[in-house]
Amino acid sequence: MDLAPSRNDTLLIEAEGGSHSEFHLFTHFQPIFSLAHRRPVGYEGLIRGTDSNGKAYRATELLAKAPAGVPRMQLDRQCRAVHVRNFRRLGNEDSWLFLNVDPYIAVQGLRFGSFAQMLEENGLPAHRVAVELIETPFDDEKRLVAAVEHYRTIGCLIAIDDFGAGYSNFDRIWRLKPDIVKIDREMTRRVTVEPLARRMFAGIISVLHESGALVCVEGIETEAEALCATDADADLVQGNYFASPTTQLQPEHACDDLFARLFRNFRLETAEFYDQRRIRLQPYIAALADAVLALSAGADRASAVRALLDLDCTERCYLVAGDGSQIGASVETEGNVAARDRRLTPIRPVTGTNWQTKPFFRRAIEAPGKVQITRPYLSATGPKFCVTLSYALSLNGSYHVLCADLDFAALAGDDLAFGLTKLPL
């Protein structure tokens, strides 16, 4: 295949003294895979260059050579045209081409020649182009919206890059209503090394799904990162673990073995995780059931929950009436009293504290006789992450909910705390 840069793919930079330096521009394509389809559905075009001595330059180094303003804009447009031409030459007839656009240039570019025309001249249908807005601060968000609407009108997909970092935030999602959201690669890195990021990852992706976008996890370099993306229900994945950027496109089935292995490990880990969690929670669920029986038989609260409180990870028990208001104070374990954080004094629960908006209360009341288990969260009553077990029972003819907060870190240990993929800490 002929990839020799044509005359148009030469970048001329004029130095201050009037001398010129010349760069040859070419494209590296990195495949973007759909997890459900196990094949590339798109390619991101990345610019590379060499100078007359054959020295290689990366995108940032090249862009740094063009000063802000018109030269920068021309270079940006030139890069996109190079990608489109090279992509066409490689003969792919169905995948998306992802093109990076700086928000500033997206706005300014509206005044210059037409992007649609360039696509048409090169025979690439606009509906196969995903315009990717990189994360940079941009003051005039109204004009950015107009620029994005322009790309949408000509038929392109809109992608937001680097979500979760800097200015790539929810306000931009609401303004631009992207079709695809790419997660910041720094987040991808964090999820395997930081418990906090790991815990939130699935939630972040699920919220982005509700925005009506497909979610792409990029910068995947290890199997652990790939498993996290799989577990969090990403739609698209990209990164050197799957395929590095090259001048060629990926054969469609090149990663079949890799995906087969990935999904096999995913299934094994899922099964083991649920097994372990069930084993670990079993004694607490049994003790909760005993406490419920004792309460129904008329035992007083403190003695009914004693065995439950004696278990290692139980922090406190409390009884909530059908209207959501707490009955009496919480019964706390001795170990927990010492662990109290003075900073959280203003929000200690007391009689009458109302739990009716909490999902663990609502779910219990909706399904009496069934144990409900929350995801780990910071309880409004203490400084630690907890998991709440809740159970609706009938006392004196009305529903009550018995709740037990468990210390999540102690319960889960290192192997369960972070979800399916153990942290390589």
Partner 1 sequence: MLANPTGPGLHDAFHAASLPRDASYGILVVLLSVTKNPQTRWGAVNMVDLSPPLLLDKYSSRGERGERDEFSLSSHFQPIYSLTHRRPVGYEGLIRAVHSASGRRVDPPELFSKAPRGEERIRLDRQCRALHVRNFQRLGNARSWLFLNVDPQVASESLRHRPFFLKMLQSNGFPVHRVAVELIETPFEDETHLGAAVEHYREIGCLIVIDDFGAGYSNFDRIWRLRPDIVKIDREMTRRVTVEPLARRMFTGIISVLREAGALVCVEGIETEAEALCAIDANADLMQGDYFAPASEVLPAENARSDMFTRLIAGHRSDFAEFQKRQHSRLVPYLAALKNAVQDLSFGAKFQPAVQGLLKLPSAQRCYLIGSDGLQIGANVDAERNVYSHDPRFELMQPTEGTDWQTRPYFRRAIETPGNAQITRPYLSVTGAKLCVTLSFAFEASDGSQQVLCVDLDFAELAGKDVAYGVSSLHT
- Minimum distance from residue 390 beta carbon to partner 1 (Å): 15
Tokens 């370099």 belong to 221
What x/- string results for residues 327 through 366 when contact with partner 1 is judged by CB under 8 A?
---------------xx-xxx-x---xxxxxxx-------
- Closest to partner 1 by CB, 23 vs 192, is 192
Q: Does the footprint of partner 1 cover residue 391 (CB under 8 A)?
A: no
Burial category of 172 from C-beta neighbours within 10 Å (exposed 0-12, middle 13-18, buried 19 and up): buried
Tokens 């069930």 belong to 278
Q: Does the footprint of partner 1 cover residue 203 (CB under 8 A)?
A: yes
Q: Does the footprint of partner 1 cover residue 179 (CB under 8 A)?
A: yes
Q: Does the footprint of partner 1 cover residue 266 (CB under 8 A)?
A: yes
Which of 145, 154, 200, 416 touches partner 1 by CB under 8 A?
200
- Minimum distance from residue 147 beta carbon to partner 1 (Å): 19
- Closest to partner 1 by CB, 207 vs 337, is 207
Q: Does the footprint of partner 1 cover residue 257 (CB under 8 A)?
A: no
Judged by CB under 8 A, the number of residues near partner 1 is: 76
Contact 334, 360 (CB under 8 A): no
End-to-end CA distance of the chain: 45
Q: Does the footprint of partner 1 cover residue 31 (CB under 8 A)?
A: no
CA distances from 151 to 130, 176, 349 (A): 9, 11, 53
Contact 199, 418 (CB under 8 A): yes
User: Which of 261, 180, 184, 260 lies closest to 220, judged by CA?
Assistant: 184
* Region from 45-53, 174-182, 291-299, 305-313 binding partner 1, contact rule CB under 8 A: 174-182
User: Which of 324, 287, 320, 299 lies closest to 406, judged by CA?
Assistant: 287
CA distances from 422 to 103, 223, 389 (A): 38, 11, 24
10 Å Cβ neighbour count for 167? Answer: 14
Q: Does the footprint of partner 1 cover residue 413 (CB under 8 A)?
A: no
Q: Does the footprint of partner 1 cover residue 137 (CB under 8 A)?
A: yes
Which of 51, 194, 269, 290 touches partner 1 by CB under 8 A?
194
10 Å Cβ neighbour count for 103? Answer: 23
Q: Does the footprint of partner 1 cover residue 213 (CB under 8 A)?
A: yes
User: Which of 51, 126, 42 lies closest to 92, judged by CA?
Assistant: 42
Question: Tell me, what DSSP letter sits at residue 354?
Answer: B
- Minimum distance from residue 215 beta carbon to partner 1 (Å): 9
What x/- string results for residues 65 through 104 when contact with partner 1 is judged by CB under 8 A?
-----------------------------xxx--------
* Region from 13-21, 101-109, 172-180, 388-396 binding partner 1, contact rule CB under 8 A: 172-180
- Closest to partner 1 by CB, 62 vs 148, is 148
